A and B are shown apart, each in its own frame.
Chain A
Amino acid sequence: MKRHLISAADLTRDDAVLILDTAEEMARFADRPIKKLPTLRGRTIVNLFFEDSTRTRISFEAAAKRLSADVINFSAKGSSVSKGESLKDTALTLEAMGADGVVIRHGDSGAPHRLATSGWIGGSVINAGDGTHEHPTQALLDAFTMRRRLVGEEGAALDGKRITIVGDILHSRVARSNVHLLSTLGAHVTLVAPPTLLPIGVDSWPCEVSYDLDAVLTKSDAVMMLRVQRERMNAAFFPTEREYARRYGLDGERMARMPEDAIVMHPGPMNRGMEITAEVADSPRCTAVEQVANGVSIRMAVMYLLLGGSEPALSRDDTARTEENN
């Protein structure tokens, strides 16, 4: 694996499967009464959030703490960052503080790439979502959830699984990361959206594209509904909320047409009544809550593999020491 996790496209199939398998180990560990591992003791991880996202930040924070890392939360809101301090100066500050890993969420596409390649810092950079570019750990936790539900076998990938991603592809970093990762893992991905919410150039992506949700639903093992901001209609991406929900929303009737074991996914936060109805969101087929729990395991696995070295995540010794030290 590379030193940073910037794009899901950077992961080979072996890398991705290793992360998923490591996350399974982490998940098993989380079921024990003592949830802490000493793996990253003495290491400092900074959560550098230029955009508000409590959900994602808490997930990374929980993951780092379960690995015994020291966690510093650096939120841009109300700090010098929002008063015009540059990403570079912030990075130099973190470097001076000895950050071993920086988890960055930024509104500009490419900011994590810039942070990792500019020479401003020496530590590993983990992209926690940049602009409309990528959100690789979200894609990993999605793949983890799919593998558990649809394959149920460690060491496996997602070969032949039919994954449909529906919604605002144009502005979605989740979609971009998922297209890369799921295709790497052997899945067949279909994007469904009104043409206005698909980027020019999407035809070069390793996936299919459809404007017709009903045509794709019956051939899907998983349907991932993306959040659609209501404000998009003000920029003429679609006429009204109602029309969007009718053509591209998932309701109980549509869900009933999906194959029996197919799952409904959502990266959250959900816009109930827009892309998904309450009936679907609250149904046992919807994995939204599971995805959140899986997020912590995946982020533990990523931090462990990027920062913790190459030995197995949970040797017997580690386990023993953990119990001693808690």
Chain B
Amino acid sequence: MTEQNKTLLRGARILGGEPQDVLIEGGTVAEIGQGLRAADAEVVETGGAVLLPGLVDLHTHLREPGREDSETVLTGTRAAAKGGYTAVHAMANTFPVADTAGVVEQVWRLGKEYGYCDVRPVGAVTVGLEGKQLAELGAMHDSAAEVRVFSDDGKCVDDAVIMRRALEYVKAFDGVVAQHAQEPRLTAGAQMNEGIVSAELGLQGWPAVAEESIIARDVLLAAHVGSRVHICHLSTAGSVEIVRWAKSKGWNVTAEVTPHHLLLTDELVRSYNPVYKVNPPLRTEADVMALREALADGTIDCVATDHAPHPHEDKDCEWGAAAMGMVGLETALSVVQHTMVDTGLLDWAQVADRMSFRPAAIGRLEGHGRPVSPGEPANLVLLDADYRGQVDPAGFASRSANTPYQGRELPGRVTHTWLRGRPTVVDSKLVGAAGAV
């Protein structure tokens, strides 16, 4: 399949605005207006669907290399496209770890070959995620994969000196360290949020302070060395307060929240169903409300999925034996619509900001997170926001089905995704990828 030459979207509501026609030509947005004509264009009658810039995920576990039983670059980018994403940042906790230029280039190249979604690898901060020795951050930055985000995600860079050095070192090339904030001693053996529910269930607690103490330390470190730091999957009301304070100081701190932390609470753990086991854990209703408010007021910069696929057997077991994580790429936009748009906390322009513009800016990712305007790259997603339907993992493109939303009714459905003008999803179905064109 070759690139679609011309596509005309009729009556699309750009960022939720008034219906307009949008002409895509040669990989860019060519024209926007009323009653556009293009005889040779393929026409998409949008019926007033919402048109957003292609979504950008700062936090995706594609699992390749090493855990291809749970996800591959191919299945993960297909899932991303179905979820409306045109770029994902692939986390480094693979086997081998993405801590060298060789591994990040391999992941990047696979994404490019398959062509469903741009893959920007995240480089490990330390060799083997061991937290002891800095990985060759400069080499990964200079590689074809153009690494800009560095993270030991899955593990916290808990050594204060290593964290300080990493923050300082990446200043040389405007990189950012994305911290998985989890004080390891306070969370050894932790199974769920520490609080009323963990006390009753007899599951070892993961206290909010284990996240907040690391964030407090790291915003202070970032300020001290004049670098920028990004906080992964912020999950507590206390973390919000610390980030809000750091931003009020003018420090270069950004933060992300996952869709599941915007919706689900630790009450669900009462079922002991491991589909709700995730790290950081599901918190309380008060935390959920604080996170929504923080995403609305901009304290939290963006939504990132922390898409974490696991094979069925790793969830079809007792809680203690189960793996932590949830898939999220194919439900993220629906959860954001449900928790943020349908509640009046964000409009669609702000959704575009939190799910495309800002994550692309944090990742220094060019060509994504751009306005929907003539001359801009045609990375676009069309959303039927009026749709209501139950989540059915049988329809997922992801290789894994560990979703906490099975059977839950959520609003919105991605009908089309375009990557540089070429459709990757049409009528909510994947279309054959072109590969690198």
A: residues with CB less than 8 A from B are: 86-88, 106-111, 113-114, 117-118, 130-134, 173, 176, 199-202, 204-205
Contact = CB atoms under 8 A, between A and B. Distances in A.
Given A108-B319, A110-B201, A202-B199, 9 more contacts: A109-B191, A109-B201, A110-B318, A131-B202, A131-B203, A199-B198, A199-B205, A200-B205, A201-B200
Nearest to B313: A86
Interface of B: 191, 194-205, 207, 271-273, 313, 316-321
B292 to A, nearest CB: 24
Contacts of A200: 194-195, 198-199, 205, 207
A138 to B, nearest CB: 14
Given A110-B320, A114-B272, A176 B207 contact: no
B198 A130 contact: no
A118 B322 CA distance: 14
Nearest to A198: B199
A25 B195 CA distance: 41
Given A117-B271, A200-B199, A107 B320 contact: yes
Residue among B200, B203, B317, B318 with most chain A CB within 10 A: B318
B320 A134 contact: no
A111 B274 CA distance: 11
* Interface hub of B199, B202, B204 (most chain A Cβ within 10 A): B202
Q: What are the 5 tightest A-B residue pairs by CB atom distance, in nearest-first order?
A: A201-B199, A133-B202, A110-B272, A108-B320, A132-B202
Nearest to A199: B199
A130 B200 CA distance: 12
Contacts of A108: 318-321
25 contacts: A86-B313, A86-B316, A87-B321, A88-B317, A108-B318, A108-B320, A109-B202, A109-B272, A109-B319, A110-B272, A110-B318, A110-B319, A111-B319, A113-B271, A114-B317, A131-B203, A133-B201, A133-B202, A134-B202, A199-B198, A199-B205, A201-B196, A204-B199, A204-B200, A205-B200
B200 A176 contact: yes
A111 B318 contact: yes
Name the residue among B196, B198, B200, B316 with the largest chain A CB count within 10 angstroms. Answer: B200
A201 B195 contact: yes
Contacts of B203: 109-110, 131-133
Given A110-B203, A200-B207, A87 B317 contact: yes
A86 B320 contact: no
Contacts of A201: 194-200
Nearest to A134: B202
Contact of B320 (A88, A111, A117): A111
Nearest to A7: B200
User: Which one of A110, A131, A200, A205 has the greatest number of beta carbons of chain B within 10 Å?
Assistant: A110
A176 B207 CA distance: 20
Contacts of A87: 317-318, 321
Contacts of B196: 201, 204
A248 B262 CA distance: 43
B320 A113 contact: no
Contacts of A109: 191, 201-203, 272, 319-320
Contacts of B204: 132
Q: Which of A107, A200, A205 has the most CB of B within 10 A?
A: A200
A121 to B, nearest CB: 14
A205 B201 CA distance: 12
B324 to A, nearest CB: 15
B318 A114 contact: yes
Given A113-B272, A114-B272, A86 B198 contact: no
A86 B317 contact: yes
Nearest to B199: A201
A208 to B, nearest CB: 15
Contact of B318 (A106, A173, A199): A106
A31 B179 CA distance: 66
A106 B200 CA distance: 17
A106 B319 CA distance: 12
Nearest to B205: A200
B190 to A, nearest CB: 12
B205 A86 contact: no
A132 to B, nearest CB: 4
A157 to B, nearest CB: 22
A39 to B, nearest CB: 31
Given A200-B207, A201-B195, A201-B196, A176 B202 contact: yes
A282 B379 CA distance: 79
Contacts of A110: 201-203, 272, 318-320
A86 B321 contact: yes
Nearest to A109: B202
A117 B272 CA distance: 9
